[in-house]
Chains A and B, each alone.
Chain A
Amino acid sequence: MQVKRNHRILILIFLVVLSAELYFSLQTPYLDNQGYLIERYTEHILETGKPLFYDTLSYNGRDVLYSPLWHYVLAVFSLMFGNFVFKLVPALFSSSLVFVVYLLSKKIVDNEELALFIALMSGFIPVVFVDSLISASVYSLAIPIMFYLIYLFMDLDEKKIGVFVALSFLLSLLHPVSILFSLGLLVYYLLGLSENMKISNLNVEAMAFNFVSTFFIQFLIYKKAFLEYGFSVIWHNVPSQILGSYFDFDLFGMLYRVGALTLIFGLIGIIWGMIKKKDRIMLLCGFALATLILLWLRLLEPTVGMMFLSVALIVASAFTLNLFLNYLGKTKLPYYRLSFIMIVLGLIISSLAVPSFVLASKHVNDDVPSDYEILVLKWVEENALPDVTIVAPLGKEHTMTAVAGKRTVLDDNFLLAPETSERYRDIERLYSTKSEVEALEIIARYNIDYVFIPIETELKYGKVKWTDDESCFRGIFFGTPKVYQVIC
């Protein structure tokens, strides 16, 4: 009966998290820039049954490399839910993290109430919460799978090995972030060796399998990139200008996006677990360390790294809170149990739920195109010739290709893209230069027919002055955004 009650509470937590996510995501009918890219690839699957591996709109046409599994998942669900799928499915998967975290926490502390509490916390990690709203993000599925794999790994036996193998394959097929899981296992293995901990043979075999299968699948999917870039493939062909700012560490930003409570309790849990040589905490520590190493080497996008790190810390914080509760049990504080629960709830709300809601609200307002932008892009779609090229700054390019259906010069899908650093530099110069000659040179180089100037660009670089030459640039829209047609 007790079990049933906890399960009911867990389902309730799941529904609360799901409702909160849907509440924010349904405040706008649009997606963010990344969401539009996923929508376009998914629609291509729906139309042709095949993934899009030659994108005619990106960089004026080029090969694209990605694992299409996530797009297939969305395509299948879209048969039932239509366009609602890009908000519902990520929210469903992302909310299911509460079940995984519940299982993990229960395994670490063997305290059902605390596990439920941690599960609730995991539903409102700001950086994870925001990611699954309007981006149709693959991480909404990758994170629960990865942490479920950790759960399986903690108590691996002959019965679970089959599931572990299958999910390892699935994760590798889903996204290259599976490498993070393999590295986490490796770091755990090395930590175990250094601490003289006994790691069972089955676990070592599972680790070996995971490493081999992940490596093989990534090689299979990204063969072209490996051939093209060799070992430099790890930098994803990201323009040097962007790569330079990949690890601009911002402690307060991190506290806010991961949650101060998560960070503090999680770190204490990991350090304490390591001191006490707790095997399961060591595993989480392995993941946290692997993530930090990848972040430090600029091999992982900061936001992505923070997502995985924050979930690992949330689970580790179960250990800290359990220690704390045990300590409280020995003091007079149990008499004030209700007050204590209220204080902790208050802390959660202030450090997790409030930042989550603030960030989510900001994200759905700022990172989606405005109604006017969509109107402009629809006009371009209907009135411009089909094979024209529009230049847009980074951050708007996928919206442009998805809504207007026109070619762009640059987008953030850098792998296999031609001359990314040069193009990035040229586009920055195009929007910032005062010289019409320089602008026309860039326009000619990339065969640009339309110039799209969003308000963000004007705020960053000031007014784009060379568009004033009416003999060369015909203004079509003058609001926010502005659109000019190149006529000379």
Chain B
Amino acid sequence: MKAASEESFLEHQRYIKLFAKLSILILALAFLLLPGILRESELAIGDRPYYHLTREGDTDRIGIGWNFLLRYFPMNILLPAIGLLSVFFIFFNLKMLKLEERLLATGFFIISPAFVYLFNVGERFGMAFLFTLIASYFLLDKKHLIAGICVVLVFLFDIWIGVFAIAILLLYLLIRYNKKKIFYSLLGVIFLLLLVLGKFNAGIISDMGAKIGSSVFAILFVAFCFLFFWDRKRFFSFYAIAGLLFLFSLKVEFGIFYFGLFLSILVGLCFFELLRIRWESKLVRDLILLIFVCGLLFSGLSYANRISKEKPNEDIFNTLSRLPDGAVVFADLEYGNWIDYNGKKSVWHSLMDRDKIETIRKDVSILLESKDYTKTTEVLERYQIDYLLLDPELKQRWHESGLIYLLKYNSEGFRFLFEENGVEVWRFFR
């Protein structure tokens, strides 16, 4: 009888574990599909995916691996698939943790804005992220050759993520083979380089308006737990790595994905540690943890909702489709990839070389600031612009600009062509 009850207890435990794993899978599916469900149109979110869609099959551009894949697979299938694979590999990578910690950390990452962005916005980062996870899995499994191949594959998707993966690989090998001096020296050099090179990007909290960021509640939670656990050896090293990744994400755009992942692991660990320690009031403990979970969920959901409302919309694409192919259309930077995708030529787009963007930005500032017709037409002619596209957001953004002034009051050089649901097109006669 006793043996039977033990067996049933173990069986029960197995079911609970299976149920928990299935729940994580369902959660992942929900967050992979949610922005698409909330979105009113079928159009891909943001402007950068259109860069890859325009250049699908091209092998001499940014994210050649991603361009190549998009030639054979539709983006709306590819993204959830790599999202699910990433969830599996995160789970496999965390095998040094207890099952409940692994599940919770994976769950927290799924509901994080970083995950929502990675696998709902069709940028090249998602695939590169997956390959770094696969590389890390094989590295931990001591299959160095496969891990090396995966790291090489990362370069096909993003060169800088590839460099980052190699740096991490190197650091891992140094610590594994007990080369502590070199490890710390290299770490110090990386730290210094991070401080010195590039500009700090303060917008890394999605709840504070950052385009790609972390949940403010996750950051607050680990900061809150730091007060309790900073002196514990296990947590200290985790916090040190999180700190470095935080610094990294302030400098490098894709850093936020890795910081987001590590933050989720730390949140999972801290969550269980908070449950384990002694509390005077269980009510307070439960409420604090509940609030944090609700906060994390709130961040993820509100981010999913936010990106589902991101441009482009049908109106912009319908308007662009009415213009002749190959014509040069001018709009703001983030409209460039949409213009190119629709068979027209843009003046600039967000994945251009930075120096080139800065040069064009200077010329665009002349367009916006000057009410001098000669100066404006000089710039428009230099870029061989045929049409100007203005949607309600651009009209609001540029409402006091010289360009809008000239469009309103100068009928000599510009002609209003048509308007479709607030999106206007003006012709410029060169």
A residues at B contact (CB < 8 Å)? 158, 161-162, 165, 200-202, 205-206, 208-209, 212-213, 215-216, 219-220, 223, 226-231
Contacts and interface: CB of A to CB of B under 8 A. Distances in A.
A212 B292 CA distance: 8
Chain A interface SS verdict (over half): helix
B207 A227 contact: yes
A213 B287 contact: yes
Interface string B194-231: 00000000110101111000001100100010000000
Nearest to A200: B280
Contact of B209 (A201, A202, A213, A227): A227
Contacts of B203: 230
B10 interface: no
Given A158-B281, A223-B302, A165 B208 contact: no
B9 interface: no
B285 A205 contact: yes
26 contacts: A158-B280, A161-B284, A165-B284, A165-B287, A201-B280, A205-B279, A206-B284, A208-B284, A209-B284, A212-B224, A212-B288, A212-B291, A213-B287, A213-B291, A215-B220, A216-B294, A216-B295, A219-B216, A219-B298, A220-B298, A223-B302, A226-B207, A228-B209, A230-B203, A230-B205, A231-B208
Given A209-B288, A223-B302, A161 B281 contact: yes
B311 interface: no
B283 interface: yes
Contacts of A201: 279-280
B306 interface: yes
A223 B285 CA distance: 25
Given A212-B224, A219-B298, A230-B203, A205 B281 contact: yes
B226 to A, nearest CB: 13
Nearest to A220: B298
Contacts of A161: 281, 283-284
Contacts of B294: 216
A52 B207 CA distance: 24
A230 B205 CA distance: 9
B284 A205 contact: yes
A258 B81 CA distance: 65
A226 B209 contact: yes
A229 B294 CA distance: 23
A441 to B, nearest CB: 12
Interface in B155-209: 202-203, 205, 207-209
B224 A208 contact: yes
Chain B interface SS verdict (over half): helix
Contacts of B284: 161, 165, 205-206, 208-209
B217 A223 contact: no
A227 B224 CA distance: 23
Interface in B337-386: none
Contacts, number: 63
Given A165-B287, A208-B224, A219 B209 contact: no
B280 A230 contact: no
Interface string B299-315: 00010001000000000
A162 B295 CA distance: 22
B295 A219 contact: yes
Nearest to B295: A216
Given A161-B283, A206-B284, 6 more contacts: A158-B280, A162-B283, A201-B279, A213-B287, A227-B209, A230-B208
Contacts of A216: 217, 291, 294-295
A200 B279 CA distance: 11
B208 A227 contact: yes
Nearest to A208: B288
Interface string B264-294: 0000000000000001110111011001101
Contacts of A205: 279-281, 284-285
Contacts of A212: 220, 224, 288, 291-292
A208 B228 CA distance: 11
Instruction: Name the residue in A162, A202, A219, A226 with the highest tally of chain B Cβ atoms < 10 Å from its Cβ.
Output: A219
B221 to A, nearest CB: 9
A192 B351 CA distance: 53
Contacts of A226: 207-209
Contacts of B220: 212, 215
Contacts of B209: 226-230
A60 B122 CA distance: 39
Contacts of A209: 284, 287-288
Contacts of B279: 201, 205
A244 to B, nearest CB: 23
B50 to A, nearest CB: 24
A286 to B, nearest CB: 18
Given A208-B224, A226-B209, A227-B207, A165 B295 contact: no
Nearest to B203: A230
Nearest to A202: B280
A7 to B, nearest CB: 31
B293 to A, nearest CB: 11
Contacts of B283: 161-162, 165
A219 B292 CA distance: 12
B307 to A, nearest CB: 12
Nearest to A229: B209
Contacts of A219: 207, 216-217, 295, 298
Contact of B207 (A200, A206, A208, A223): A223
B69 to A, nearest CB: 33
Nearest to A231: B208
B401 to A, nearest CB: 15
B278 to A, nearest CB: 8
Contacts of B295: 216, 219
Contacts of A227: 207-209, 306
B279 to A, nearest CB: 6
B284 to A, nearest CB: 5
A447 to B, nearest CB: 14
Contacts of A229: 209
Contacts of B280: 158, 200-202, 205
A200 B285 CA distance: 15
A206 B284 CA distance: 7
Contacts of B302: 223
Nearest to A207: B284
Interface in B5-35: none
A132 to B, nearest CB: 32
A213 B291 CA distance: 7
A230 B209 CA distance: 6
A209 B202 CA distance: 28
Nearest to B205: A230
Q: Which 6 A-B pairs have the closest CB atoms?
A: A202-B280, A230-B208, A205-B284, A201-B280, A227-B209, A209-B284
